[in-house]
Amino acid sequence: MATINPPKTTSTSALFDDLPTEKWINLANLYQWKGFWYRRPHLEAVMEARSSFKARDEDVILASSMKTGTTWLKALIPSIMDPNARIVENSTYNILDMPSPRLFRTHMPYAMLPDSIKTSGCKIVYITRDPKDTVLSLWHFMNSIRKPEERPFPLNEFFESFCKGLHPFGPFHDHVLGYWKESMMRPEKILFLRYEDMKRDTSGQVKKLASFLGRPFAKEEEVAKVVWMCSFERLKNLEVNKNGVEPDAGFPKSAYFRLGVVGDWKNSLSMEMKKQLDEITCNKLEGSGLDLLN
C-alpha cells in the first residue's frame, strides 16, 4: 500500500520560515500549518499531494492518526480487495503507473486532503482509537526506534505534549473530528472505524469493511480466513515483520507490532493522566455523537 507522496516539483522552503514551530519531545521540530502540526518532510509531502495528487474513482485511501491501528487495516484492505494482490511498500513507486484499484494510506487530516480525494468517487477508510491507548502506543513506538544507548522519553512530558495537540498530525482530537463529521454526512464515502470495535467484534467489523469496499464476502469461511491472515499474532510472527525494515521511514517493522490490546494505558498512565486526557476528549467530542473512551 503506497503513501500519498508524489515526487516533489516545487520548492516550499520559503514558507517554512513563516510557520509557527515548536520542538517535539526534544526530538524534532514541528511546524504548524492550517491548525495541524507536522514534521517538515511530512508537511512537504502534504503540500505536494495537495497540488499534484489526482485521485481515481476506484482508489481506496486508508487514513488515520499515528498508532491507531493503521498496520492492521493496511493488511485487511488489500486482503479484502484482492487476496492475491502484492502490497506496494515503496513510496517511490510511480503512482501513475499503478493499476486500479490503487490503495493508499495517509496521516493527513481530512481538511488537508487533496480536493480530488474529496470530490472523486474514491473511498476513505478511517481508523481511530481511545487517545489514552494511542498516546501510550506512540510513546512506546518512539522509544522503540531510539538507539539502544538512549534513554526513554519522559512519559510525563510526552503525555503533556500530546494533550496540547503537539505531536505529528496533531491535535489528535481535531484529526478524529474532521473525519468523523464527514463520515456522518457522507457514510458512503468514509467508513469510520474504532480500534476497540475491531478488537471486540473483528469478524463483524471486517464484514462491514468489505461491504463498504464493494467486496462483500460470499462465505463465512472467507471472513475467518481474512481475519486470521491479518491477525496480530500471525503478522507479528512473520519473518518479514520480525526482521524487516519499513521502507518509507526506515523503522524496524517489529516496532509496529507491540501488544495489540485495548486498555494497556492502565499499566502506565496515572489516574491524574487518565482524568486529564478523558476530560479533554469529552470536551472536544461533546455534541459530536462520538465516544472514544474505554
Interface positions with ligand A3P (CB under 6 A): 64, 66-72, 133, 137, 140, 230-232, 235, 256-260, 264
Q: How far is the CB of 7 from ligand A3P (least distance, A)?
A: 25
Q: Which residues of 40-65 are buried (b: 16+ CB within 10 A; e: fewer)?
A: bebbbbbbbbbeebebeeebbbbbbb
Nearer to ligand A3P, 52 or 254 (CB): 254
Nearer to ligand A3P, 108 or 230 (CB): 230
Output phi, psi for 107, to 5 deg. -105, 10
- Structural element, H or E, at residue 5: none
Smallest CA-to-CA distance from 127 within 101, 154, 151, 107 is with: 107
Verify whether residue 107 is a known catalytic residue. yes
Q: How far is the CB of 140 from ligand A3P (least distance, A)?
A: 5
Place of cell 505531536: 167
Q: How far is the CB of 31 from ligand A3P (least distance, A)?
A: 22
What is the total residue count of the chain? Answer: 294
Residue 271's identity, in one-letter code, is M
Q: How far is the CB of 175 from ligand A3P (least distance, A)?
A: 12
Nearer to ligand A3P, 11 or 73 (CB): 73
Catalytic residue, candidates 42, 107, 173, 175: 107
Written as nine digits, the cell of 37 is 502540526
Q: Where are the beta strands (DSSP E) in the chain?
A: 2-3, 21-24, 28-33, 36-39, 60-64, 103-106, 123-128, 190-194
Strand, coil or helix: what is 152?
coil
Nearer to ligand A3P, 45 or 185 (CB): 45
Query: Do you find a cis peptide bond into 247, omega within 30 degrees of 0?
Result: no
Q: How far is the CB of 105 from ligand A3P (least distance, A)?
A: 9
Nearer to ligand A3P, 15 or 87 (CB): 87
Q: Would you name the residues annotated as active-site residues? A: 107
